[in-house]
Amino acid sequence: MTQDTVNLKTAMARTVRELYRAGLFGPSSGNASVRVGEDAVLITPQGLFKGGLQARDLVLVDLSGRVREGNGVPSRETPLHLAVYHACPDTGAVIHSHPPMATALGLYDLPVRAVTLEALTFLELPVVEFFPPGSVELAQNVALALRGAPAALMRNHGAVTRGRDLRHAADLTHALEATCRSLVLVRMLGGEPATIPGPFETAARGGADP
C-alpha cells in the first residue's frame, strides 16, 4: 500500500466520523468512496458504527466491485458509487448520506430557490424516485441524475453528492443539508421568500468562499 493510500484511508475515516457527528450519517447508514488511481475505489464497509470508523476498516475494490484489500464487506451501495464513477469520469469522491432536511425535501417536488448563497450550487437538484437500496435501478438512476449536477436527492431515502475529491464531496453534503434546512424553514414561515436577484446569481456562484 502506498503512502498516498494510507493518507487517503485516514482522511476518509475522519470524514465519515465528521459526517456522523453532523447528523448526516446514521450509526450504520451512509457510505462514502474515493477514487484511488485509475482503476480502484476505497469504500466504507457494511455494518460498522460510522461514528467510530477507522482507516483499517475501509475496503479497496476495483471498478467492478471486486475486493482487492480489506477484511470488511463493501458497502451495500457499492454499485451506486461505481455507477457514478462510470457515468461522471471527473468524479473523485462520492458520498451517500441520510441528511434529515434534504431527505424531507426529497419527498416533495419543490424547486430549489436562490434563498442563500449556498443554494446557488443546487438550483438544479434532481430527485431520484424510490428504488430499493443496493439495487441496480437505484445505481443507474442516481448516476444518470448526477451527470448534470453535483448532488441528487433519493426519494424516501437520502442524498448523494459527487466531488472532485473527498473534501469537496463532504463540503457539498454539508452545504446541501444547510440549503435544504433553509428551504424547509422558508416553507414553514410561509409567504414568498426574498431570493438573490438573477443578475447577481452568476457573480455569486463564482465566489470562492460564499
Which residues contribute to the site for Zn ion (CB under 5 A)? 158
- φ, ψ for residue 103, nearest 5 deg: -65, -40
**Based on CB atoms, which residue is closest to Zn ion, 74 or 158?**
158
**Based on CB atoms, which residue is closest to Zn ion, 85 or 119?**
85
Instruction: Note whether 60 and 74 are within 8 A (CB).
Output: no
**Based on CB atoms, which residue is closest to Zn ion, 79 or 158?**
158
Per the residue annotation, which of 18, 38, 69, 77 is the catalytic one? 77
Closest residue to bound Zn ion by CB: 158
In 10 A of CB 143, how many CB atoms?
A: 25
Give dist(CA 165, CA 9) in Å, integer.
13
Give dist(CA 40, CA 169) in Å, integer.
18
Whether 77 is catalytic: yes
Residue 157, CA atoms < 13 Å, CB-side half-sphere: 21
Spatial neighbors of 2 by CB under 8 A, at least 6 apart, are: none
**Based on CB atoms, which residue is closest to Zn ion, 114 or 142?**
142
Task: Enumerate the active-site residues.
Answer: 77
